[in-house]
Amino acid sequence: MSRQRQINQKKETRQLILSVAKEIMIKEGVDKISIRKITNTLNYSPGIVYHYFKDKEEIIESLLKEGYLEILNSIRDTKEYEKEPEKEIREKFINYINAVLRFSDVYLAIIFSNKPSILQYTGILHKGVSEDRKSIKILCNLIRKGIQLNQFKECDVELTAQALWVSIFGLIIKLIIEGEIEIEQKEKLINQQLDIIISGIKKH
């Protein structure tokens, strides 16, 4: 077998393990992941896992980082609307909501991870967050543009961005936890949420 072939296969098996781990995480939660469950599903023996991962921790971290990347990637490309920050905010949030809901279990796991290595990426309530969290920075810029265009009220921009973000975050978490919401109701909820918070920052 060629070297490349081997490396690929190794990656594939890693991926296989991760995907089973992910299934478990989705069905039962992060800390219900167990090496035994994984290898039973794959008809492997427990030991072999340690050929691909240092320990269980590494599996979980890989899992979360992977999920996080997936989410980030799926948000990346939203259009810009030169003169319509409101529209852009709506669209960005809708994209974010959808991306997160697609990886909802991973998202929950990330958000509620108390591993420092992950925590450092998820904090958004501190003062100065707009410097170190890109998504908040973008949101701030949009709000600022809206103010400049005389569409939004004067305000503390960062605090406002945090409030908007947190509002949407609350909705997302609830949508994930409650799970089986009808699609129509879900869309109504999302729209209502956006209507209210945007109406809350607009000039009248």
Q: Which residues bind DNA (CB under 7 A)?
A: 1, 6, 9-10, 13, 32-37, 43-52, 55-57
Contact status, residue 37 vs residue 49, Cβ threshold 8 Å: no
* Least distance (Å) between residue 185 CB and a second copy: 5
The residue ranges that bind a second copy (CB under 8 A) are 31, 108, 111-112, 114, 119, 122-127, 156, 159-160, 162-164, 166-175, 177-179, 181-182, 185-186, 188-189, 192-193, 195-201, 204
* Least distance (Å) between residue 51 CB and DNA: 5
Distance in angstroms (rounded) separating the CA atoms of residues 24 and 43: 15
| 11 vs 112, beta carbon nearer a second copy | 112
Select from a second copy, DNA, none the partner in contact with residue 151, using the beta carbon and a kind-dependent cut-off of 5 to 8 Å: none
Select from a second copy, DNA, none the partner in contact with residue 171, using the beta carbon and a kind-dependent cut-off of 5 to 8 Å: a second copy
What is the identity of the amino acid at 198? I
* Least distance (Å) between residue 68 CB and DNA: 21
Question: Which residues fall within 8 angstroms of residue 172, CB to CB, at 6 or more apart?
Answer: 97, 100, 101, 107
Select from a second copy, DNA, none the partner in contact with residue 120, using the beta carbon and a kind-dependent cut-off of 5 to 8 Å: none
Q: Maximum CA pair distance of the chain? A: 70
Both tokens of residue 196? 């209210």
Q: Which residue has the tokens 């809206």?
A: 146
Helix and strand counts by DSSP (H, E) for the chain: 11, 0
| 79 vs 185, beta carbon nearer a second copy | 185
Exposure b/e, 82-111, CB count within 10 A at least 16 = b? eebbbebbbbbbbebbebbeebbbbbbbbe
* Least distance (Å) between residue 106 CB and DNA: 18
| 49 vs 71, beta carbon nearer DNA | 49
| 16 vs 149, beta carbon nearer DNA | 16
